[in-house]
């Protein structure tokens, strides 16, 4: 019979997603069929499966850790914020509608039976399902209609392990407060606590661990050390930490403009791991400076982000970058922003019918009510590329524009159409392909062009594949968890033999 375990957190960015990924790799190493599951994910980082369905990126890297193909059933509900009050509601990989928070709070109960059916399918097909919560189970204003924390745990009768982040401070208060704020019927589901992101000597923490166990009657299963692992991060909170790791001694300065509605910043993980690249995010109020490569990322609301660029003063800085010869690259919404015109005749993104873009590329984008969600294979200058598209805009190139690539396959079907555009003799490029930098051979070729522009020798040695690199990182994560968490206790919790 299959088993389940739910990982919840005391707050957002406590490390739930990473702990789930590590447990998935451990169970896989132990010879078990394991899959991740998150009933509802709110994120602007998404992925397109081989069947053309959209799902959250966190469950994708957890599936990679489990060495299984990403399946939309692992994340049946995805919420993508389109404004401060509204989100696009995606169920089983397809757009349902846009809703504000109040309407969705009422509507989501209708999804529960369907979510349970999807979960049951995965449960029947595997040995273990590792569920992930969202935020904190102690959101007492939302718990009456919860479908992702204790509401989900009750629905499928899953035991819970609580993850607490010590790096932010106040870890014992967060553990105690979370446990004591939830109802007794939910409290008894919490079978253990994991203290995450610890720096220092665990012996100094022991007295606190003893006291919190006495106060809550819940055992602490382990203390996970703070570790620098090159694994995709779902939470945008991590962008500040990524920028702090910027190393000016590396050869190439790559700057990503952190748009207000930025999506899929996971597109740049493959750049972060390049040996000669330091990647930073240009936050509100930051100066772009003089990077070697400037990237405009994807956006959930291109028009809003174009207005943000214009009103924040970034437009003038971007123009300066163009004039000084900086390489500029746009992905999806960022590609659209590089164009001359953004048209929204159906009010897909805003009440504005038309807005001027940056004008760096002679292209015109018109927003449509239908979203394109495809996994694609493309060809560029004799190299095969893979990626995925998630956009609601159709872009027309001016007569002097050269396409970035040619799409040959979409969701496994043969096709032939142009993608993206190139201008200013190759200085400015744009594409709809998310994951473009995951194509390591092409990325190295592109970075070597930039090196040559700077008078640097190209890097010739062949880099390992992204899949190989990721697997090493997942194995490192599993090793860290095995050394710091009582894994035998985790197994006992799943069989119902634990205390707590």
Residues whose CB falls within 8 Å of the CB of residue 361, separated by 6 or more in sequence, listed in order: 330, 335, 338, 339, 340, 401, 421, 423, 428, 430
Give 83-100 as a DSSP string.
SSSEEEEEETTEEEEEEE
Task: Provide the β-strand partners of residue 422.
Answer: 402, 429
Radius of gyration of the chain (CA): 23
- What the block records as the tokens of 423 is 């201008």
321 is annotated as an active-site residue? no
- Say if strands 327-331 and 293-296 run parallel, antiparallel, or are unpaired: parallel
Our CA angle for 247, 277, 300, nearest 5°, is 100
* Residues 313, 320: Cα–Cα separation, whole Å: 12
Sequence-distant (6+) residues with CB within 8 A of 245 are none
CB 169 within 8 A of CB 139: no
Q: What is the C-alpha to C-alpha distance for residues 35 and 89, in angstroms, rounded to an integer? A: 23
Catalytic residue among 24, 321, 391, 434: 434
**Taking the CA of residue 15 as centre, how many other CA atoms within 13 Å lie in the half-sphere pointing to its CB?**
26
In this structure, what DSSP letter does residue 434 have? B
Note whether 367 and 344 are within 8 A (CB): yes
Q: Do 434 and 342 contact (CB within 8 A), yes or no?
A: no
Alpha-carbon distances of 314 from 225, 253, 256, 258, 308, rounded to whole Å: 39, 18, 12, 11, 8
**DSSP 8-state assignment for residue 39:** S
Kind plus residue range of the DSSP H or E element containing 331: strand 327-331
Residue in 377, 392, 358 with CA at minimum distance from that of residue 95? 392
3-state secondary structure (DSSP) of residue 446: helix
Neighbours of 77 (CB within 10 A): 24
- 24, 269, 321, 332: the active-site residue: 332
CA gap 374, 457 in Å, rounded: 37
Is 332 an annotated catalytic residue? yes
d(CA 118, CA 131) in angstroms, rounded, equals 13
Residues annotated as part of the active site: 332, 434
């Amino acid at each position: 019979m299959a088993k389940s375990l739910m990982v919840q957190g005391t707050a957002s960015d406590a490390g739930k997603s990473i702990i789930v990924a590590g447990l998935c790799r451990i169970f896989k190493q132990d010879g078990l069929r394991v899959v991740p599951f998150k009933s509802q994910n709110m994120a602007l980082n998404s992925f397109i499966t081989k069947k053309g369905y959209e799902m959250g990126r966190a469950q994708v890297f957890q599936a990679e850790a489990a060495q299984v193909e990403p399946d939309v059933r692992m994340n049946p509900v995805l919420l993508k914020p389109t404004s401060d009050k509204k989100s696009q509601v995606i169920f089983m990989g397809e757009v349902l509608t846009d809703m504000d928070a109040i309407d969705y709070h009422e509507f989501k109960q209708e999804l529960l039976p369907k979510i349970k059916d999807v979960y049951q399918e995965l449960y029947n097909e595997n040995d273990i399902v590792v569920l992930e919560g969202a935020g904190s189970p102690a959101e007492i204003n939302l718990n009456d209609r919860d479908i992702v924390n204790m509401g989900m745990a009750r629905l499928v009768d899953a035991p819970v392990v609580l993850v607490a982040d010590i790096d932010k401070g106040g870890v014992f208060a967060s553990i105690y407060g979370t446990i004591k704020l939830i109802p007794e019927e939910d409290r008894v589901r919490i079978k253990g606590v994991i203290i995450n992101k610890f720096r220092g000597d665990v012996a100094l923490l022991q007295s606190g661990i003893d006291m919190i166990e006495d106060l809550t009657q819940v055992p602490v299963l382990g203390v996970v050390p703070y570790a620098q692992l090159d694994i995709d991060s779902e939470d945008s909170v991590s962008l500040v930490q990524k920028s702090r790791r910027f190393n000016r001694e590396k050869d190439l300065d790559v700057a990503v403009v952190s748009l207000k509605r930025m999506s899929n910043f996971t597109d740049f993980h493959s750049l972060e791991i390049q040996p000669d690249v330091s990647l930073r995010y240009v936050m509100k109020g930051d100066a772009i400076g003089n990077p070697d490569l400037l990237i405009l990322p994807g956006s959930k609301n291109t028009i809003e982000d174009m207005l943000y660029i214009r009103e924040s003063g970034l437009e003038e800085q971007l123009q300066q970058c163009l004039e000084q010869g900086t390489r500029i690259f746009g992905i999806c919404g960022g590609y659209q922003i590089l164009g001359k015109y953004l048209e929204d005749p159906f009010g897909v993104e805003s009440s504005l019918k038309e807005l001027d873009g940056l004008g760096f590329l002679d292209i015109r984008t018109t927003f449509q009510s239908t979203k394109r969600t495809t996994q694609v294979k493309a060809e560029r200058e004799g190299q095969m590329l893979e990626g995925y598209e998630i956009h609601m805009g159709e872009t027309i190139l001016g007569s002097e524009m050269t396409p970035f690539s040619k799409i040959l396959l979409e969701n496994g079907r043969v096709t032939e159409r142009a993608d993206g555009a190139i201008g200013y003799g190759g200085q400015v490029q744009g594409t709809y392909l998310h994951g473009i930098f995951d194509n390591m051979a092409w990325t190295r070729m592109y970075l070597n062009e930039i090196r040559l522009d700077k008078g640097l020798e190209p890097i010739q040695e062949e880099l390992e594949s992204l899949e190989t690199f990721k697997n090493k990182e997942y194995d490192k994560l599993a090793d860290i968890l095995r050394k710091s968490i009582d894994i035998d206790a985790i197994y006992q919790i799943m069989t119902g033999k634990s205390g707590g």
